[in-house]
Copies of this chain bind each other. A is one copy, B any other.
Amino acid sequence: MALDNPTSQAAVTTADKVFEQMLHDIVEGNIQAGSKISEPELAKKFQISRSTLREALNRLEKCHLIERKANVGSRVVECSISGLLEIYIVREALEGMACRQAAQNMTDIEISEMRAMLKQHATAKALRDGIAYYQEEGDLDFHYKVILGSHNQQLINILCGQLYHLVRMYRCQFGMNSPRATKAFDEHSRIIEAIADRDGELAEMLMRRHIAASRKNIENKIAQQQ
């Protein structure tokens, strides 16, 4: 067995790299939401053939970041308020369940790692009063860890593999740094305690409320603007 890859990490093809670059560009808004994707143009930009580009586009489509119509072409998805709320609904259901499963399936080591992470976030937060930091990176870290802790491959695939890129895209496009940072932190720590107590029912309920609170926060904002 000849391993070209001593660290046994999966091979990375050209299409992979282009995918990651475009993923970044779309999430950050460098490629505008709703814009049409020209295959010849992008292939030229990346100095690759259209076949390779289309391979990358297929992966973006898997993440629901672009939409393709036969014989017509691809467009970057639009970011609408209703679309954002739809995602929150899905997250409430899926992450709630992930949290219940995490309470059941996480190892003690994983739990202590989560506690350590939260503690580190707390100090970072106090130090820099880094609301923005905590809101963006810390929040995602926390949710990721819970999802992985479910040990349910389907949940992990759907949430981490596809939905979370969309979540990140919305955060960037709408510039979301709500005043919920400190409140969110408390909610996170209560969720971890429920997981540590192996109380799946409570853990699910807390996670659902946590996500629903974010959603309602947005709904209220929208209502005020009108």
Report A's interface with B, CB cutoff 8 A. 10-13, 16, 51, 54-55, 58, 61-62, 64, 69-72, 83, 86-87, 89-90, 92-94, 96-97, 101, 152-155, 157-158, 163
Complex Cα spacing A13 to B86, Å = 30
A77 CB, nearest partner CB in chain B, Å: 11
Interface secondary structure of A, over-half rule: helix
- Give A150's nearest chain B residue, CB to CB: B89
Q: Which 9 A-B pairs have the closest CB atoms?
A: A93-B97, A11-B70, A58-B58, A93-B93, A86-B154, A90-B154, A11-B71, A86-B152, A13-B70
Q: How many copies does the complex hold?
A: 2
Given A11-B69, A93-B97, 14 extra CB contacts under 8 A: A11-B70, A12-B70, A13-B70, A58-B58, A83-B153, A83-B154, A86-B155, A90-B94, A90-B97, A90-B155, A93-B93, A93-B94, A93-B96, A94-B94
A92, A153, A154: which has the most chain B beta carbons within 10 Å? A154
Known: A51-B51, A62-B62, A94-B94. A89 touches B101 (CB 8 A): yes
Q: Looking at the complex, which one of B61, B87, B152 makes contact with A90 (CB distance below 8 Å)?
A: B152
Q: Is the CB of B64 within 8 A of A157?
A: yes
Known: A92-B97, A93-B96. A86 touches B153 (CB 8 A): yes
Complex Cα spacing A70 to B55, Å = 12
Residues of B within 8 A of A90 (CB): 94, 97, 152, 154-155, 158
A70, A92, A96: which has the most chain B beta carbons within 10 Å? A70
14 sample A-B contacts, Cβ–Cβ < 8 Å, listed by A number = A10-B69, A11-B69, A11-B70, A13-B70, A13-B71, A51-B51, A86-B153, A86-B154, A87-B154, A89-B155, A90-B97, A90-B158, A92-B97, A154-B163
A110 CB, nearest partner CB in chain B, Å: 18
Residues of B within 8 A of A58 (CB): 55, 58
Residues of B within 8 A of A54 (CB): 55
Residues of B within 8 A of A157 (CB): 64
